Chains A and B, each alone.
Chain A
Amino acid sequence: MGRSDEYTDLNQQRKPAWKPDLDAKTVLLSFLGMGLCFVPIGVGLLMASDSVQELVLDYTFCLRVPQKNDPIRPFSSPTCAGYINQRPAKCICHVPFSLPDGLPGSVVIFYALSRFYQNHRFLMKSRDEFQLMGDILPLSWNCHPFDYINGSAIVPCGSFANALFNDTIRLETKNETVPLLRTGLAWPLEKQLFGNPKGRPLNESYKDFVKPPSWSKNIWELDRDTPFNNGMENEDFIIWMRPAAFPNFRKVFRRVDESHVAYRDGMPKGNYTFIIDYNYPVTAYGGRKFLVVSNASAFGGKNPFLGIAYIATGCCLVVLSFVMWILHMKYGIREDEALDVRKTDPFYF
């Protein structure tokens, strides 16, 4: 292995090296520099976050609006939450809100759930990726127990799909319906993971299969108006199927159609009402449902954290650089004097 005539920096371990020396002086200067940069950045971020307006509406216990064709019941709950518990029945409620100054920019409506453990392992694994891609059978073992009902396969199978958020909304103002878009919400790449069986109309493709027990509609009925947004390719379904990181989460629901003249610059000022088809039960496990109306900055939704963190860190860095300065004055090596290591290293005398 050894060679007498070869000398390289590598084999003699003499590769030239940069030897940074993190002493108080260097750190002092870099901390100070960074600190002074961070504070203005933080201010900018905070301002950006503040420019976002969002409206969070908790409609968990919204009051039922009686409908003409409601079945007659002697005692019925005033809230939709209670009403749907008593009997699965259609419950409609109104959630009014006003925008005194309007809402500029593109406006997005989210639904938000709390205490819903979409990130639970059992929920997350309970799906069949191939079925979602259009290969309906065979079902993956993962879907159990939401795989078969009386021998017919469930489409889409698994408890994740079964728990699909199925409230529907309409937004009205002055007796006029605000145009809401239900497409263009999911990431284009993400959509590639979902597909319907090819060749036949959806209802025929899916006719041998049953819907998940909690669903009120069949898979081919998710959006009958828009063929490319139906079945597995329905964006509401796709967005639901993307697991959220934490039990309190928002998912994008609708977008205000900006191509409409009245909403070109966002939502004009005025009073609005969500007319909600209330289906989704959350009270059993103490959860809440929200609708969020929000515009966005370059950083997305409202989140002051980044700005605050930058300002705080910047201040901290400046303070630390002062600490360093004191340290440097007290202990720093002056190159003209040899440092007496005996003071600090107990092993030598």
Chain B
Amino acid sequence: MVFPLSYSNIAHGVSGVSSRSASGQSSPEQQPPPVNRVILINKQPQPVSFCSNTVSTAKYNAITFLPLFFFESFRRYSNAFFLFIACLQQIPDVSPTGRFTTLMPLSFILFVSACKEIFEDAKRRKADNIANNRKVLALKSSFGFEETKWSKIMVGDVVKVRNNEEFPSDLILLSSSEPHGVCYIETSNLDGETNLKTRLSLPETAQLQAVDDLMALDGTIECEAPNRHLYDFTGNIRPSGRQVIALGPEQLLLRGSRLKNTEWVFGIVIFTGHDSKLMRNSKQSAIIRLKRSQLDEFANRQIVMMFALLVILCLVSAVGSTIWTKGHRQTDWYLGEALDSTNFGFSFLTFIILYNNLIPISLQVTLEMVRLFQTLFVSWDLDMYDKTTNTPAVARTSNLNEDLGQVKYVFSDKTGTLTENKMIFRQCSVGGVVYGDALATSEDFVDTNLSETLRGNTPVAKPINDFLLALSICHTVVTEPNPDNPNQPVYLAASPDEAALVKAAANLDYTFIKREPHHLTIRARSRGDNSKGEIKHDMLQYELLEILEFTSDRKRMSVLVRTPEGRILLTCKGADTVICDRLAPHQPYLEQTMQQLERFAERGFRTLCVATAEIMPDFYNEWKKNYHRASTSMDRRREQVSEACNAIERNLQLLGATAIEDRLQEGVSHCIAALRKANIKIWVLTGDKMETAINIGHSCNLLNRDMTLFTVNETSLDRVREVLFKFKNDIKEMLHPENGAGLIVDGRALTYALAMDLRKDFLDLATLCDAVICCRVSPMQKADVVSLVKTHYPKDITLAIGDGANDVAMIQTAHIGVGISGKEGMQAVCASDYAIGQFRFLQKLLFVHGAWSYERISKLILYCYYKNITLYVMQFYFTLGNGFSGQTLFERWTIGLYNIWFTALPPFVIGIFERSCSSESRMRYPVLYGSSQRGELFNYAVFWRWIFLALAHSAVIFYLTYAIFWHNTLWTNGQNEGGFLFGAAAFTYVVVIVTLKAGLETSSWTVWTHFGIWFSILSWFIFMPIYSNVWPHMLYFGEDFVGIAEALYSSASFWFGLVLVPVITLMFDILYKAWTNTGYSNVVDTVRRMESMGIHDLDVFLSVVKPRPLIQNDTPLNALAGPSTSQGGHPRGYAFSQDEAGAVSQANIVSMYGSTDNLPNRARMQRLSVNNLTPKKSHRHTESH
């Protein structure tokens, strides 16, 4: 009996609970010293007010919206800058462009993004409301249980949860409908494991079955403060007037998990809302989540560079202004006293306003709208639409689209993400012959050959018969009668593998009918009947003598039965290595079976060997005594039991081997192969066991048999360090580096590997490997692994994909989080940035949407800078000619409209419709991903190339216009015009050149591209006459522009210039483009060009382009395995996903169900596991009570 707390200090909560750190928890942050919680059962109010059960993931509320929104908006340098400019413009006499020319566009932009934020937050709020308004039965009044909203549940309440309901908060289990207060829960939302787990109520509370009992319940619960450790819990309950009883994780029902196979449970609420372990595990920062794409951050940094450029221009201009004024103040009588009022500071501010548009004001809003479209494209994509679950892909944030094009690391969950979590009996080897089709896709095992053989009573039939009998005997499956067909009961299996085996045997006419406490009934095909007619069946009753349970040390399980003939038979199934060791000498088919087993494993199947032995009655009786003694021993019980089992599991006869497919989702291996071809590193992080994880690694192409596998499975820091260093050496000296290496790390070892001093070494090793698999990792460890990569390689984009609540932390940590939607749990999806129906959609999401988005956004940003610089640097050239006075060359509202109208569309059409290389090519040739992945389209070099191009273009346009408009005498009648005409002409040339430049950068012109480009030019030509006729007829703003259009349009020089200036300006751009296209094209350009030539089948051409070949050749096994790597072949996952040492032993469960033949007709389940995840140390009190 463990009393973690002396209850004399309950009231003060002095820390008597040693906060045991969970194995596998390596969160670096230090929790504040735990303050224990004291809860009054069934009483409100509580002594302390606890957090409500309302869960909110919304970012804003009515009060915080404005401050938070403005904070976020002005966190962007550009917005802050424009706010500053807008303020400057309010100072009288400083602004050359009026007072509102910045404020108005800025308000417009902020308004648009505010709408977007509100819209997005409303969506989150809606999802929260659904959760908060769910109902549960709670004991709120003296009238018994009432339907109560989740949000109204409070700490200390007693609730009743019915079958298949989710727990509304973290509960302490009081009692259940089942014997001994057992209940089953499914925790797939929490840890991704789909097999059921048991929870057991305290014997003292288990008898609380009636509402009256519960209402009478009085007392306190003390427990540790809310924390994020899923598998740890300490506390105690003190029913009033009685002794304190310890509570452990076995009594804990967590929010996020679901009651299964149990009619109801009663529980006391202990942690509510954000205090619950589930919410604690979804990182706190999730509430205000600010993920920004790498590109966005880079662009934001460039704004600083642009600001520097701006300041330089302003300084030069302001200095020029001071000098010019000094020289002209005395002499230029016409300027009068005005010059006296100039000073350096004011002219500096003037120039900042004049040049402020070097920083593109419309960029952010354009980006946001374009991103919105890109997210729509994601959700519209029929190739990413999952028809089976009717789920489209959803982009839940729009900021990260371009990051999808740059992914270098993919962190994937296994269960439910890579696999369907469905086990299918695929093949078996009996008597040296393989039956079954490895490539079959059906869920049933079919082999006509096998059935034929069975029918003909040949010598070959005998081993098959024995094999199938063994399969139907040796398991812990319990049955539930099937009212429709008594010969096909429903199987409730501890592990999905076992269910698959029993089902397969049943399909082959060896049906396990029912289990009684001491008997098994098998309905088997009659032996010795070789008639061609109908098959006869015998009901065989086996007396169940003993079940020797599965443990991960033993890697096998056995069943001892007395056959109907009275013989004692031991049937054993387990991992090939352990079975082989226990075989009797001279096995006829050992060699063949082992080879076949190897082949099964190569295909990624989970394998088991099945063997049998006949036990002499005398030996059995002797052994039975030993076994009984061992299993009741108080000292080293486990070891003793294991020894006893060993004694009887000897001299086995090999019957055969089975191959079970842990079925991958459709297209997973193809997708992984493609991702790897694109140089994306894939790390699988799973809570599952090492063997199964490795198996999946093989079957999904992540591992291949020629790889050197490094397994880190150590249990101490020093050992882990040693092994890491050794592997680091080994990997450098590998004989066949081209075969690649795989790293497999166990969760416990990972705890040490992620310790501060080993992190870097672990990462170095991991990045040298082609594939990394981490098994038995906790949710926080997953996140920690991701952040390890993220912090050490800040430029590499990480993507995490998962489906369960156990993946939430990882999804939130990674640059991009992807959730698998369409399954039951929604936590992962809610935390994710993108939700897709199946893993394979990742390929299109990255290769097509990602790469395109990256390309589009890059071009868009660069283009926006380009067009602004091209126009506004002219102001500087003009400044040189107007006495550094800050006079604007262009009419002020045409400047304002430049970005939001005349050149607004080209960035949009680039951002939405540009696509270089068709989606087919991008899907087919992962090589094309490299360009965006390496960030070739947007980096310092590219950025500055565009800036200098813009500077050059603006100089060319300005001085050409200057030369054409020499003297301004452009008309037949000798009339001439002034400065704003010159500005309008230059502006026209800029609009035309800048839009044509957009066209030049566009590689595929859709209808909308044509519209965007030609309409932009046209709109300016239409706008000019309208605007130049406005004043004084309408408003007080267009006076500088009056008559400009007529003057300009009637000038022949202007029209000839309209041909000349763009040709001269863009000539070198075209030349450069043709040069790079022809002489220096990269893969993307080449594929694009081939496509535009109409060559779509590029296999021949691209077959030579391989960034890294996937090795599939048959080189001999690499001998360079480390000490922990599997010796003599790669490890085969044996087919057990059940775990040992649960709260209730496997055998007990079996006998409990055996004794209750008429199980209540409860929801059918396929898998029943008596698995309990908790560390087993200190919870023996259940037995001792």
Which A residues have a C-beta under 8 Å from some C-beta of B? Answer: 1-4, 6-7, 11-24, 26-27, 31, 34, 38, 41, 45, 106, 108, 110, 112, 116-124, 126, 129, 133, 145-146, 159, 162-163, 185-190, 192-193, 214, 242-247, 249-252, 255, 281, 284-286, 294, 296-301, 303, 305-306, 309-310, 313, 316-317, 320, 323-324, 327-328, 330-333, 335, 338-342, 344-345, 347-349
The interface residues of chain B lying within 8 Å CB-to-CB of A331 are: 1078-1079
Note all chain A residues with C-beta closer than 8 A to B338. 122-123, 126, 145, 159
Whether A250 lies near B882 (C-beta < 8 A) is no
Contacts of B1057 in A (CB 8 A): 306
Do A296 and B1078 contact each other (CB < 8 Å), given the known contacts A117-B882, A306-B1053, A347-B1107?
no
Residues of chain B with a CB closer than 8 A to A320's CB: 1067, 1071
Asked if B886 is at the interface of the complex by the 8 Å CB criterion, the answer is: yes
Binding stretch for chain A, among B308-316, B553-561, B800-808, B957-965: B957-965
Closest residue of chain A to B927 (Cβ to Cβ) is A348
Do B1105 and A348 have beta carbons less than 8 Å apart?
Answer: yes
A345 touching B1082, Cβ below 8 Å: yes
Other CB < 8 Å A-B pairs besides A2-B385, A17-B1005, 5 of them? A2-B379, A14-B919, A18-B1004, A303-B967, A303-B969
Nearest A residue to B888 by beta-carbon distance? A121
Contact, CB under 8 Å: B392 / A4: yes
B323 within 8 Å of A (CB atoms): no
Q: Considering the chains assembled together, what is the distance between the CA atoms of A190 and B960 in angstroms?
A: 26
Instruction: Pick the contact of A327: B334, B376, B881, B1074 (CB < 8 A).
Output: B1074
A23-B1067 contact in complex given A120-B883, A301-B970, A338-B1100, C-beta closer than 8 Å: no
Please name all residues of chain B whose beta carbon is closer than 8 Å to the beta carbon of A285 when the two chains form the complex.
328, 331-333
Is B392's CB under 8 angstroms from A299's CB? Answer: no
Q: Name the distance in Å between A214's Cβ and chain B's nearest Cβ.
A: 8
Report the bound CA distance from A61 to B1052 in whole Å: 36
Chain A interface, DSSP helix/strand/loop, else mixed: loop
Decide if B1047 is an interface residue (CB 8 Å cutoff): yes
Q: Which of B382, B391, B965, B1056 contacts A245 (CB 8 A)?
A: B965
A21 CB to closest chain B CB (Å) equals 4
A27, A108, A247, A339: which contacts B1101 (Cβ < 8 A)?
Answer: A339
The contact sample of 7 A-B pairs, CB cut-off 8 A, is A11-B381, A22-B1073, A108-B973, A126-B338, A299-B1051, A327-B1074, A339-B1101
By a CB distance below 8 angstroms, the chain B residues around A294 are 969, 974
Q: Which of B337, B394, B975, B1090 has the most CB of A within 10 A?
A: B975
A285-B332, A309-B1064 known; A23-B963 Cβ under 8 A: no
B979 neighbours in A (Cβ, 8 Å): 118-119, 124, 243-246
Residue of A nearest to B930 (CB): A347
B1052: which A residues are within 8 A, CB to CB? 298-300
Q: Does B390 contact A (CB under 8 A)?
A: yes
- Quick check: A187 and B975 within 8 Å, CB to CB? yes
Known: A284-B331, A305-B966. A122 touches B1053 (CB 8 A): no
Q: Which has the most chain A C-beta neighbours within 10 Å: B379, B391, B1003, B1043?
A: B1043
B942 within 8 A of A: no
Which residues of B are found within 8 Å of A305, using beta-carbon distances?
963-964, 966
Asked whether A2 lies within 8 Å of B394 as measured between CB atoms, the reply is yes
Partner among A119, A249, A255, A310 whose Cβ is within 8 Å of the Cβ of B1056: A310
Interchain CB contact under 8 A, A189 and B1064: no
Known contacts A2-B385, A121-B886, A252-B975; A19 and B1004 CB within 8 A of each other: yes
Q: Does B87 contact A (CB under 8 A)?
A: no
A19-B1092, A22-B1077 known; A193 vs B1031 contact (CB < 8 Å): yes
Does B1070 lie at the interface of the complex (its beta carbon under 8 Å from any beta carbon of A)?
yes
| Complex: A296 Cα to B881 Cα, angstroms | 27
- B1006 A1 Cβ-Cβ under 8 A: no
B1063 at the interface (CB under 8 A from A): yes
Q: How many residues of B contact A (CB 8 A)?
A: 115
Is the Cβ of B1105 less than 8 Å from the Cβ of A342?
A: yes
A327–B1077 CA distance with the chains assembled, in angstroms: 11
- Which 10 pairs of residues, A with B, have the shortest CB-CB distance? A2-B392, A108-B974, A301-B969, A189-B1043, A163-B334, A17-B1004, A121-B885, A11-B380, A19-B1092, A338-B1101
* Interfacial chain A residues near B1090, Cβ < 8 Å: 339
Determine the chain A residues whose CB is within 8 A of the CB of B973 once the complex forms: 106, 108, 255, 296
Hey, which chain A residues are within 8 Å of B882, CB to CB?
Answer: 117, 119-121, 246-247
- Known contacts: A193-B1039, A244-B979, A313-B1063. The answer to whether A300 contacts B376 by CB under 8 A is no
CB contact list, B466-524 vs A, under 8 A: none
**Cα(A328)–Cα(B1089), bound, Å:** 15
Is there an interface contact between B332 and A122, defined as CB atoms closer than 8 Å?
Answer: no
Least CB distance from A131 to B in Å reads 13
B524 to chain A, nearest CB (A): 47
Among A192, A332, A348: residue with most chain B CB under 10 A: A348
Check: B1034 CB closer than 8 A to any chain A CB: no
Q: Is the CB of B1093 within 8 A of A18?
A: no
Looking across the interface, which residue of chain A has its beta carbon closest to that of B1077? A23
Instruction: Tell whether, in the assembled complex, residue B881 and residue A313 are in contact, meaning their CB atoms are under 8 Å apart.
Output: no
Flag if B974 contacts A301 (CB, 8 Å).
Answer: yes
Q: How far is the CB of A181 from chain B (nearest CB, A)?
A: 11
Contact status of A146 and B336, CB under 8 A, knowing A13-B377, A19-B1091: yes
| Nearest neighbor of A52 in chain B, beta-carbon distance | B969
A315 to B666, CA, bound (A): 62
With A and B bound together, what is the CA distance between A24 and B381 in angstroms? 36
Residues of B within 8 A of A284 (CB): 331-333
Question: How many angstroms from the CA of A323 to the CA of B1067 in the assembled complex?
Answer: 13
B184 to chain A, nearest CB (A): 35
B residues near A119, Cβ cutoff 8 Å? 881-883, 885, 887, 979
A116-B1006 in contact given A187-B1043, A243-B978 (Cβ < 8 Å): no
Q: Indicate whether B1046 reaches chain A with its CB closer than 8 angstroms.
A: yes
Bound CA span A296–B1071, Å: 38
Question: Complex Cα distance A123/B339, Å?
Answer: 10
Can you name the residue of chain A whose Cβ is closest to the Cβ of B982? A245
Q: How far is the CA of A186 from the CA of B1106 in the complex (A)?
A: 71
User: Cβ of B1092 and Cβ of A7 under 8 Å apart?
Assistant: no
Query: Which among B391, B881, B915, B1070 is the interface contact of A13 at CB below 8 angstroms?
Result: B915
Contact between B334 and A123 (Cβ–Cβ < 8 Å)? yes
Give CA–CA (A294, B974) in the complex, Å: 8
Q: Are B1009 and A19 in contact (CB under 8 A)?
A: no
Q: Name the residue of chain B whose CB is nearest to the CB of A328.
A: B1078
Residue among A21, A250, A251, A320 with the most chain B CB within 10 A?
A21
Interface hits, B814-843 → A, CB 8 Å: none
B1089 pairs with A21, CB closer than 8 A: yes
Quick check: is B1086 within 8 A (CB to CB) of the other chain? yes
Bound-state Cα–Cα, A251 to B979, Å: 12
Distance of A252 Cα from B1078 Cα, bound (Å): 53
Docked-complex contact B1074 and A27, CB < 8 angstroms: yes
Q: How far is the CB of A154 from chain B (nearest CB, A)?
A: 12
For B380, the chain A residues whose CB sits under 8 A away are: 1-3, 6, 11-12
Find the residue from A3, A20, A22, A186 having the highest chain B CB count within 10 A: A22
Pairwise interchain contact B1081-A341, C-beta atoms closer than 8 A: yes
Interface string of B1064-1099 (1 = CB under 8 A from A): 100100110111011111110010111111010000
Minimum distance in angstroms from B442 CB to a CB of chain A: 26
| B972 located at the interface, meaning its Cβ lies under 8 Å from any Cβ of chain A in the complex | yes
Is the CB of B1123 closer than 8 A to any CB of chain A? no
- Across the interface, do A189 and B1028 meet the contact criterion of CB distance under 8 Å? yes
Within the complex, what minimum Cβ distance (angstroms) separates A127 from chain B? 10
B934 at the interface (CB under 8 A from A): yes
Interchain CB contact under 8 A, A345 and B1083 = yes
Residue with the highest number of chain A CB atoms closer than 10 Å, among B337, B881, B974: B974
CA distance A340 to B473 in the complex (A): 63
Which of chain A's residues has its CB closest to B1028's CB?
Answer: A189
Q: How far is the CA of A83 from the CA of B978 in the complex (A)?
A: 32
Residue of B whose beta carbon sits closest to that of A239: B976
Contact B1060 A117 (CB under 8 A): no
Q: Are A344 and B915 in contact (CB under 8 A)?
A: no
Known: A252-B976, A300-B1051, A347-B934. A3 touches B392 (CB 8 A): yes
